[in-house]
C-alpha cells in the first residue's frame, strides 16, 4: 500500500510549498515550514515522518559540547550507579519556538 495515498491533498500541497524542483529532484526551500508540517501531522500520517531523519551523532556531539539539547529536540539520558539496578532517566528539552 502506498503510504502517501491517505495523506490529504491540502497537506501534500503544504509539503510541496516547502520544496523546489532542482534538476529533476526536490530540495527543501523552507526547512522550518517542513518541520512544522511534520510535527503537526506526522503522527496521523507517518509518511511525513519518513521525510526527516535526526542525525543522532550530531545531537550527541552538540550535547557533549554545550550541555544542552539542540532546539526542538528532547534527549533522554539514562544513568545507573555502579552496583545498583536503579536506572535514572533525565529528560533534557531543547529550546522551543514560542510561535
CA angle 63, 65, 67 (to 5 degrees): 50
Query: With 0-12 CB in 10 A as exposed, 13-18 as middle and 19+ as buried, what is 96?
Result: exposed
Is a pLDDT exceeding 90 seen at residue 61?
A: yes
Between 98 and 82, residue with greater pLDDT: 82
> What pLDDT, on a 0 to 100 scale, did the predictor assign at position 57?
93
CA-closest candidate to residue 51, choices 69, 33, 63, 72: 33
Is a pLDDT exceeding 80 seen at residue 52?
A: yes
Where do the domains of the chain lie?
A: 9-49, 56-93
How far apart are the C-alpha atoms of 38 and 25, rounded to whole Å? 20
Residues of 30-44 as b/e, b for ≥16 C-beta within 10 angstroms? eeeebbebbeebbee
Residue-averaged pLDDT of the chain: 88
Question: Average of pLDDT values for 43-56?
Answer: 89
Question: Average of pLDDT values for 65-88?
Answer: 89
Question: Average of pLDDT values for 90-96?
Answer: 86
Amino acid at each position: 500500500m502506498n503510504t502517501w495515498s491517505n495523506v490529504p491533498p491540502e497537506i501534500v500541497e503544504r509539503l510541496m510549498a516547502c520544496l523546489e524542483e532542482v534538476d529533476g529532484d526536490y530540495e527543501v526551500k523552507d526547512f522550518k515550514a517542513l518541520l512544522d508540517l511534520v510535527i503537526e501531522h506526522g503522527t496521523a500520517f507517518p509518511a511525513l515522518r519518513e521525510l526527516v531523519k535526526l542525525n543522532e551523532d550530531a545531537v550527541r556531539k552538540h550535547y557533549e559540547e554545550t550541555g544542552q539539547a539542540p532546539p526542538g529536540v528532547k534527549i533522554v539520558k539514562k544513568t545507573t550507579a555502579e552496583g545498583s539496578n536503579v536506572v535514572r532517566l533525565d529528560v533534557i528539552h531543547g529550546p522551543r519556538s514560542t510561535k
